[in-house]
Structure 1
Amino acid sequence: MALAPKFAGQKLASKAIQPKAVHTLELYLDYVCPFSAKLFKTVYDSPLRDTLLNKYGDNLVTIFRQQIQPWHPSSTLVHESALAVLRLSPTHFYPYSSLLFASQTSYFDISLVSEPRNATYARLAALAGSVGVDEHAVYKLLAISDKPGADGALNSGNGVTDDVKVQVKANRLVGVHVTPTVVFDGVVRGEVSSGWGVEEWEKWLGENVV
């Protein structure tokens, strides 16, 4: 969990090193949540991105936390595809995420109700390919076999199942449920709204990042 800079003295550090901590802004977002898409666009696809990187970059770390919402079955599939991209080409994670949010209605419940799982994975792999990630490598990580494993297993998952387990476990440990959820220095900040524009964010950052 993040440590607020004012509590930096709680860190165990050499006497020769001044204990230091930076602010941490964590955005828990789901790719099939319209409100997550709105917040993502404001934070990452606007001038606010440069503000976070350049104005506050020395004492603020911003993290996109993937939050699967299981009441939308497709949520798992799209997050798996982002984890595959993250594994194969980390620098493409944000461009791919931006494209996923922009095309999120293609992965809503009604859009996928009649589509086989591997067909959805194939479309997601093609989407990853459009931002420069190896489409075939993405699909290989995502595809589910229609044959039992060597040990007869029928429920062995895919190439990113273990990554999903780690992400879900981490999010459960901090008690995040709905999206978007904003956590600042380890504390949920309910006042932050997905409806905020750049001005509201700038004001809030100015009051909280010191």
Structure 2
Amino acid sequence: MPQSPSPFHADPLVWGQGPTVFEAFLEPTCPFSVRAFNKLDDLLQQAGSDKLTIKIRMQSQPWHLFSGIIVRCILAASTLEGGRETAKKVMAAVGAHREEFEFVSHCAGPNMDATPNDIIARLETYSGVALARAFAVPELQAVIKWHCKYSRQNGIHVSPTFMVDGLIAPAISSGDSVEDWIGKIFG
């Protein structure tokens, strides 16, 4: 008897279980978002997972021309084995090889000849995660739209933007140290 397919599930990009909620709205190819993303593990470790919950929100931006494709790849990864950790692995691969997914001055360079399939294959190579099948699941669109709507409803327009307990925190910058973040989050 054939098995029915398992129900679609995208693992939320959430780490920690503390009462204070830190949300990072990130565009994966933005250098400032990459800098912020690379601090999140240290932030959770230093603040304590019993005191802080970190939520990554995808903030696709049209001037990063492959943004929509890469955001979809990351969210597709969250539907695979490992869930959020697999998504984090894909996001880290984008950050580590940012130029492979970006355009010169947002409008030129070798990526002008890249297709969406080229980008997916490149990201599979760098991350070691098979993404193509998950990328093609139609139900993924609802997850992408949720991230987009959530950003808009909260007045988020650019990345990185940070929220603490539901309020935008304009004093927090990707250039701050983790210690500065902790002081601004809990201060």
What TM-score, normalized by structure 2, do the two folds share? 0.77
**Matching residue of 1:22:** 19
| Contact 1:24–1:62 (8 Å) recurs in 2 | yes
Q: CA shift at 1:201, angstroms? A: 2.1
Q: CA shift at 1:206, angstroms? A: 4.2
**Matching residue of 2:94:** 100
Judging changes above 3 Å, is the alpha-carbon distance between structure 1 residues 87 and 23 closer, same or farther for their aligned structure 2 residues?
Answer: same
Q: CA shift at 1:158, angstroms? A: 5.2
Q: Distance in 2 between matches of 1:185 and 1:203?
A: 15
Matched-pair identity in %: 26
Unpaired segments ≥5 residues, structure 1: 1-20, 144-156
**Matching residue of 1:41:** 38
Deviation digits for residues 61-108 of structure 1 (CA, Å, limit 9, x no counterpart): 111111100222201111111011101131322222222211111100
Q: Distance in 2 between matches of 1:111 and 1:197?
A: 34
Equivalent of residue 50 in structure 1, options 27, 41, 45: 45
- Higher Rg: 1
Q: CA shift at 1:142, angstroms? A: 2.6
- Match status 1:195 vs 2:175: yes
Q: Distance in 1 between matches of 2:117 and 2:29?
A: 18
Deviation digits for residues 153-177 of structure 1 (CA, Å, limit 9, x no counterpart): xxxx956333212221222111210
- Match status 1:81 vs 2:80: no
- Match status 1:171 vs 2:146: no
**Matching residue of 1:142:** 135
What TM-score, normalized by structure 1, do the two folds share? 0.70
**Matching residue of 1:204:** 184
Q: Distance in 1 between matches of 2:52 and 2:179?
A: 18
| Contact 1:142–1:159 (8 Å) recurs in 2 | no
- What RMSD over aligned residues (CA atoms) do the two structures have, in Å? 2.1
Give, as a single letter, the amino acid of the residue that structure 1 aligns with 2:100: S
Unpaired segments ≥5 residues, structure 2: 1-17, 104-108
Judging changes above 3 Å, is the alpha-carbon distance between structure 1 residues 184 and 205 closer, same or farther for their aligned structure 2 residues?
Answer: closer
Q: Distance in 1 between matches of 2:145 and 2:60?
A: 11
Q: Distance in 1 between matches of 2:32 and 2:149?
A: 23
Higher helix share: 1
Q: Distance in 2 between matches of 1:71 and 1:184?
A: 27
Q: Distance in 1 between matches of 2:121 and 2:72?
A: 12
Deviation digits for residues 106-133 of structure 1 (CA, Å, limit 9, x no counterpart): 10023421112212122223333x2xx3
Give, as a single letter, the amino acid of the residue that structure 1 aligns with 2:134: L
Deviation digits for residues 12-62 of structure 1 (CA, Å, limit 9, x no counterpart): xxxxxxxxx922110001011111111111223xx433113x3xx223211
Q: Distance in 1 between matches of 2:181 and 2:175?
A: 10
- Match status 1:160 vs 2:140: yes
| Contact 2:93–2:123 (8 Å) recurs in 1 | no
| Contact 1:82–1:97 (8 Å) recurs in 2 | yes
Judging changes above 3 Å, is the alpha-carbon distance between structure 1 residues 30 and 60 closer, same or farther for their aligned structure 2 residues?
Answer: same
Q: Distance in 2 between matches of 1:200 and 1:59?
A: 16
Q: Distance in 2 between matches of 1:172 and 1:68?
A: 11
- Aligned residue for 1:183, secondary structure, equals strand
